[in-house]
Structure 1
């Protein structure tokens, strides 16, 4: 997880500054490598509408390692197993479609955080950079992980103040 890059992206967004990124739906990780080379702030690897499998998603994530490009995986649905898997293979965060309620946001965040703050399992070899102290990683990851809900309905829009 790229803590400094995540902080920089959050600062840009909180200041209404432009954050440049790329939505990835194709298999080739060369696309993500180009995004990194161009210095883009973020990439979203689309596992909902794209036809990417987990092996291809891992390759896209590898293309962002040791870069300042934040890598998010758009999941097909709100699902604890998918959230945990995306983060364990190295995503900096997840994008979740069709979030309707504040309770769904709370559940997604719980699945994205390690205990005692959440329900994420401990199996993060790639996420810890293959050896970073896990205690340090867990504390930092809980503070920095990105969970991005997509508001896609009138009902969800009315819930935003509670999210």
Structure 2
């Protein structure tokens, strides 16, 4: 499934996924059935642990959605366990240095490209598909640029051969600029443009998270150049659908 996303992005098309902050495999299955390319389990701000993530991976795979994880930190040992559990891609928060990202990525690749341990696991069907899935597997790695320092190092991070796509964290980036949640100012747009320009130069897909479910906003993001977009979350989508209920209480 990961090859389909790589091919899509290489062709200049947008790849749209969804973010999961609950630990619910049922919610994941409902989201995956809508046709998303990928589902990202948020282990930084969400409720999932490894066991619940495995159930979510299975639910996503059932409907052809590629399972990703947004890690809580650049922890290579947690990353290895999640890759063994079946994650095909990792979104790594607060990447501020190409060297640090390269060191993390080394732990995610099998030898000779890296140092990931080789074993029988869910990712290779406990050995049944070892020869097919292990030697050529390359995880889809997405560094998050979400600080002023990360933007300053954007060219080096994005230019790395280890970077498949890059993901802007808009809330954390705005916070690092002293304007929590304010995406309207020219300085914030300037930082976005810096990342977008670097992605164009190096042929990498720029990504961002749209938390709300406004389709016009999603279209605008794609039109502005974003090609790897997380559209909504399971819980915000539910709240968006039901929030009108509050009007009945007035």
Short-chain TM bin: 0.7 to 0.9
Per the TM alignment, residue 52 of structure 1 is displaced from its structure 2 partner at its CA by 1.5
Q: Distance in 1 between matches of 2:126 and 2:34?
A: 27
Contact 1:43 1:69 in 2 (8 A): yes
Per the TM alignment, residue 96 of structure 1 is displaced from its structure 2 partner at its CA by 0.7
Q: Which gives a bigger RCO, structure 1 or 2 (Cα 8 Å, sep 6+)?
A: 1
Determine whether 1:147 maps to 2:154.
no
Q: Distance in 1 between matches of 2:108 and 2:16?
A: 24
Which residue in the other structure is 2:155 paired with? 161
Determine whether 1:129 maps to 2:133.
no
> Any unmatched runs of 5+ in structure 1?
none
> Any unmatched runs of 5+ in structure 2?
158-250
Structure 2 counterpart of 1:87, from 69, 73, 83? 83
Contact 1:20 1:40 in 2 (8 A): yes
TM-score (norm 1): 0.87
Q: Distance in 2 between matches of 1:25 and 1:162?
A: 30
TM-score (norm 2): 0.59
| Secondary structure at 2:123 match in 1 | coil
| Secondary structure at 1:22 match in 2 | strand
Q: Distance in 2 between matches of 1:124 and 1:20?
A: 31
Per the TM alignment, residue 127 of structure 1 is displaced from its structure 2 partner at its CA by 0.3
Equivalent residue pairs, number: 157
Structure number with the higher helix fraction is 2
Q: Distance in 2 between matches of 1:136 and 1:90?
A: 15
Question: Which has more radius of gyration?
Answer: 2
